[in-house]
Amino acid sequence: MPQMPNLQIGELIAKLPIVQGGMSVGISLSGLAAAVANEGGIGVIGAAGIGFLENGFDQHPFQSNMDALKNEIRKAREMTDGLIGVNVMKALTDYDNLVKVSIKEKVDAVFIGAGLPLRIPGRLDLSEFKKMKTKIIPIVSSANTVKTLFTYWEKNYKKLPDAVVVEGTEAGGHLGFTEHDIIDGSINLMDIVNQVKETVEDFAKRMRSSIPVIAAGGIFSGKDIFDAMKNGANGVQMATRFVATKECDASDEFKQAYIDAKEEDIVIIKSPVGLPGRAIKNEFLKSVSDGTGGDTFCTWKCLRTCRMSKAQYCIGRALANAKIGLLKEGFAFAGKNAFRVDKIMTVKELIELLMKEYAEAESGESTVDGQ
């Protein structure tokens, strides 16, 4: 039976080419990340707002986030010998703190989204940065940003990012595109993946390294994984599909919102941080859009880009409420394909299904080729 190839990032080898996308404010913690890592993928803990539900968060938000991240990394390590990463958003006010904790705890990879990490991540000194084993993997939406970042790193650090995740318009959470481009639907993920591949290959050749490119956004089935890899991706990052798993760290109510969602319920919202986002429509989102709901209480400006004076609600608190099942006071981020989720399964069952679908897609292809 045809098998998925592995994903090699420097000396790291993931048995499966599947990265579980980081989902912050408590959706992907040690439970989900370890389960994915145990099946051979890369399990990723979402770091943003990870301490939101800890005692003392309102008094010491930065410390709570660092402590909670350290605990989740350690818990994940106890549950798996597989590969564990952390997702940190560059736009966070405690971005450096969270990257530092991740590197100190020796995670396998730090995935950096929502901004370009030009400065040395975690403000390490150059020699520490060059020696460290933790892989740094930016999440980007265009080849131009990759060129800017790689040019800067090559010139200033003589080092390149270890891999790149290319996230397209079908992803969940905050998106790096204009609302017009997202709704228009004409931007093709695999076109960007191939433009990014071409860009990184020039740098990789000069620096004698190899830089895998990972496709993200809307990848749902094993056939989607096969198609992405056939069209040039070295791996895929999937998030939405992992929400409806037994091990996902969100509440049952959050998972049920995915199962109940119909295609027309998956909408683009204007997030208070100034970026568009994709989420499941609900009463809470309706009340903030018509100006009757939302709570702006904030003890911590989590995102640099949050316009607190203009915000109608605190997005961190709304997402934390959703994580624990209070969907009347919050909402669930979700990818474009969330409406296709129809049941909860274990991570093991999901991975087995993806492998079966992948093998069927590959066999189908070779039958067609052989005719």
Q: Name which position in 17, 97, 337, 362 contacts ligand FMN (CB under 6 A).
A: 337
- Could you tell me how far CA 213 lies from the centroid of its own chain? 14
- Of 14, 23, 110, 182, the one binding ligand FMN by CB under 6 A: 23
Identify which of residues 31 and 335 has a Cβ nearer to ligand FMN in the complex.
335
In the complex with ligand FMN, which residue's Cβ is closer, 68 or 239? 239
d(CA 333, CA 167): 15
Q: Is 344 helix (H, G, I), strand (E, B) or coil?
A: coil
Residues 26-55 that bind ligand FMN (CB under 6 A): 27, 46, 48
Segment contacting ligand FMN by CB under 6 A, of 33-41, 164-172, 267-275, 347-355: 164-172
Judged by CB under 6 A, the number of residues near ligand FMN is 30
Residue linked to tokens 């702006």 = 296
First to last CA, the chain: 19
Task: Measure the CA–CA gap between 106 and 51, rounded to whole angstroms.
Answer: 20
Give the one residue of 335, 354, 355, 362 binding ligand FMN; rule: CB under 6 A. 335
Tell which positions 91-120 bind ligand FMN, by CB under 6 A: 113-114
Helix H or strand E encompassing 317: helix 315-323
Which residue, 250, 227, 221, 273, is CA-closest to 113?
273
Round to whole Å and give the CA distance between 238 and 41.
11
Instruction: Name residues contacting ligand FMN, limited to 256-295 (CB under 6 A).
Output: none
Q: Which is nearer to ligand FMN, 226 or 333 (CB)?
A: 333
Q: C-beta of 39: minimal distance to ligand FMN in Å?
A: 16
The secondary structure of 225-274 as a DSSP string is HHHHHHTT-SEEEE-HHHHTBTT-SS-HHHHHHHHH--GGGEEEEE-TTS
Pick one of 30, 64, 65, 87: the residue that binds ligand FMN (CB under 6 A).
87
Strands 213-216 and 109-113: unpaired
Q: Residue 87 or residue 205: which is nearer to ligand FMN going by CB?
A: 87
User: Residue 241 or 281: which CB sits closer to ligand FMN?
Assistant: 241
- Count the neighbouring beta carbons within 10 Å of the beta carbon of residue 269: 20
H or E stretch covering 35:
helix 30-38
Asked if 216 interacts with ligand FMN (CB under 6 A), we say yes
Exactly one of 94, 167, 249, 329 binds ligand FMN (CB under 6 A); that residue is 167
Per CB under 6 A, 334 contacts ligand FMN: yes
Sign for the CA dihedral angle at 62, 65, 67, 73 comes to: negative
Site for ligand FMN (CB under 6 A): which residue of 240, 245, 282, 321? 240
In the complex, the residues that contact ligand FMN under the rule CB under 6 A are 21-24, 27, 46, 48, 87, 89, 113-114, 139, 167, 170-173, 216-219, 237-241, 333-335, 337
